[in-house]
Chain A
Amino acid sequence: MEKFPKNLKYSREHEWVKVDGNIAQVGITDYAQSELGDVVYVELPEVGADVEANNTFGVVESVKAVSDLFAPVTGSITEINPQLEEEPELVNSDPYEDGWMIKIEMSDTSELNDLLDADEYKTFVEEESK
Chain B
Amino acid sequence: MTEPSGALRRTTLYETHVAAGAKMVPFAGHEMPVQYTGVIEEHHAVRRAAGLFDVSHMGEFEAEGPGAAAFLQRLVTNDVSRLEAGRVMYCAMCKEDGGIVDDLTVYRLAEARYMAVVNAANIEKDWAWMSARRVPGVEFRNLSEETGLLALQGPRAEAILARLIPGGGDLGAIPYYGAGGRDVAGRRALVSRTGYTGEDGFELYCAAADAPALWGALMAEGAGEGLKPCGLGARDTLRTEMKFALYGNDIDETTNPLEAGLGWVVKFNAGDFIGREALLRIKEAGLSRKLVGFEMVDRGIPRHGAEILAGGRKAGAVTSGTMSPSLGKAIGIGYVPLTHAAEGCEIAVDIREKARAARVVKTPFYRRG
Contacts and interface: CB of A to CB of B under 8 A. Distances in A.
B39 A38 contact: yes
B34 A61 contact: no
A37 B38 CA distance: 6
B233 A61 contact: no
A21 to B, nearest CB: 32
A38 B38 contact: yes
B368 interface: no
Contact of A37 (B39, B303, B325): B39
Nearest to A66: B303
- For the residues of A in contact with B, the DSSP-based class is strand
B322 interface: yes
A103 B362 CA distance: 41
B300 A64 contact: no
A121 interface: no
B360 interface: no
Contacts of A61: 301, 323
Interface string B312-331: 00000000001101000010
B330 A64 contact: no
A41 interface: yes
A74 B39 CA distance: 35
A63 B39 contact: yes
Given A37-B35, A41-B300, A43-B300, A63 B352 contact: no
A64 B323 contact: no
User: In the complex, which of the residues B236, B299, B301, B322 has the most CB atoms of chain A within 10 Å of its own CB atom?
Assistant: B301
Interface in B273-332: 299-301, 303, 322-323, 325, 330
Given A37-B38, A38-B38, A63 B330 contact: no
A64 B237 CA distance: 9
B113 to A, nearest CB: 39
A49 to B, nearest CB: 14
B38 A64 contact: no
Contacts, number: 38
Interface string A34-64: 0001101101000000000000000101111
A128 to B, nearest CB: 16
A85 B315 CA distance: 29
Nearest to A38: B40
Contacts of B330: 41
A37 B233 contact: yes
Contacts of B323: 40-41, 61, 63
Contacts of B40: 38, 40, 63
B300 A63 contact: no
Nearest to B354: A43
Contacts of A66: 301, 303
A85 B299 CA distance: 9
A64 B39 CA distance: 9
B237 A63 contact: yes
Nearest to A61: B301
Contacts of B236: 64
Interface in B322-349: 322-323, 325, 330
B301 A40 contact: yes
A43 B39 CA distance: 21
Contact of A59 (B34, B38, B352): B352
A59 B237 CA distance: 20
B299 A63 contact: no
Contacts of A63: 39-40, 233, 237, 322-323, 325
B355 to A, nearest CB: 15
Contacts of A38: 38-41
Contacts of A40: 40, 301, 323
A94 B38 CA distance: 16
Interface in B7-49: 23, 34-35, 38-41
5 contacts: A38-B38, A40-B301, A41-B299, A64-B39, A64-B236
Given A37-B233, A63-B40, 20 more contacts: A37-B23, A37-B39, A38-B39, A38-B40, A38-B41, A40-B40, A40-B301, A41-B299, A41-B301, A41-B323, A43-B299, A43-B300, A43-B352, A61-B301, A63-B39, A63-B233, A63-B323, A64-B39, A64-B233, A66-B303
7 closest A-B pairs (Cβ-Cβ)?
A40-B323, A63-B39, A38-B40, A38-B38, A41-B301, A38-B39, A61-B301
